[in-house]
Copies of this chain bind each other. A is one copy, B any other.
């Protein structure tokens, strides 16, 4: 596998976000592009990343390849890539090799990990409601909600996406006029910190699409470069016994 990329922010943000959720990056590359499908250790979040070869300035992968590296180390190295550097990725038998070409020429080698696990298969779920929301507005909502505890509820009605955070001390509510056609009122509760981790990808796209149902998992979908790539998370809901 070999790839070259000028707009390196896509790879940096994708891997930084994924690295917050899973410990090992397991990439499957073929002539079409690279893909990652994994469940986090606590089995609460499913991650799916698809980056088509056409997303890169150059992309070659003659025979299918599985690349496994430590996600923390990969994030640390990618942070050293300046926004104007040309980023090149390739593999040899033992290493993922990252080259940054800018004012100087820099090479980082990251040891490949032996890993026999198969990629996870994403669950297939039909959500009754789908609401796009600007990533910066969702970010502010999360900050409001975390004032009063660790969970929030998303309620979608005909007009609004309503977010609620509650505790003994008080509660907070934000309403966002979604402008979508919604025929069913749905509500689910989620862990705020998990959604914040996923929103690390906020620079990938101005909008993030939330797919919701009643006590159903949340899907957060980031569309990259008009569909040439996607980063999607599926987060299990918190079930409230007393409701």
Cβ of A42 < 8 Å from any Cβ of B? no
Copies of this polypeptide in the complex = 3
A95-B170 in contact (CB<8A): yes
B108-A176 in contact (CB<8A): no
A8–chain B nearest beta-carbon distance, Å:
16
B108-A175 in contact (CB<8A): no
B73-A172 in contact (CB<8A): no
One of B76, B80, B105 near A175 (C-beta < 8 A): B105
Could you mark each residue 159-182 of chain A with 1 if its beta carbon is under 8 Å from any beta carbon of chain B, else 0? 000000000111111111000000
Cβ of A185 < 8 Å from any Cβ of B? no
B144-A80 in contact (CB<8A): yes
| C-alpha gap A168/B113 in the complex (Å) | 12
Cβ of A226 < 8 Å from any Cβ of B? no
A27–chain B nearest beta-carbon distance, Å:
16
Q: Provide the residues of chain B in CB contact with A76, threshold 8 Å.
A: 147
B170-A104 in contact (CB<8A): no
A166–chain B nearest beta-carbon distance, Å:
9
Number of interface residues of A (CB under 8 A): 30
B147-A80 in contact (CB<8A): yes
Cβ of A77 < 8 Å from any Cβ of B? yes
Q: Across the interface, name the chain B residue whose C-beta is closest to A74.
A: B170
One of B73, B103, B168, B169 near A137 (C-beta < 8 A): B103
Q: Provide the residues of chain B in CB contact with A230, threshold 8 Å.
A: none
Cβ of A106 < 8 Å from any Cβ of B? yes
Cβ of A124 < 8 Å from any Cβ of B? no
A104-B173 in contact (CB<8A): no
A1–chain B nearest beta-carbon distance, Å:
17
| C-alpha gap A18/B88 in the complex (Å) | 40
Q: Provide the residues of chain B in CB contact with A111, threshold 8 Å.
A: 168-170
**Contact A108/B170 with A76-B147, A77-B147 known, Cβ cut-off 8 Å:** yes
One of B77, B103, B176 near A104 (C-beta < 8 A): B176
Most chain B CB within a 10 A radius of its CB, from A95, A106, A175: A106
Q: Can you list 10 residue pairs at the A/B interface with Cβ under 8 Å?
A: A77-B172, A80-B144, A104-B175, A106-B172, A106-B173, A106-B175, A107-B173, A108-B171, A108-B172, A111-B168
The 10 closest A-B pairs by CB, nearest first: A110-B170, A107-B173, A108-B172, A106-B174, A109-B170, A109-B171, A105-B175, A111-B170, A76-B147, A73-B169
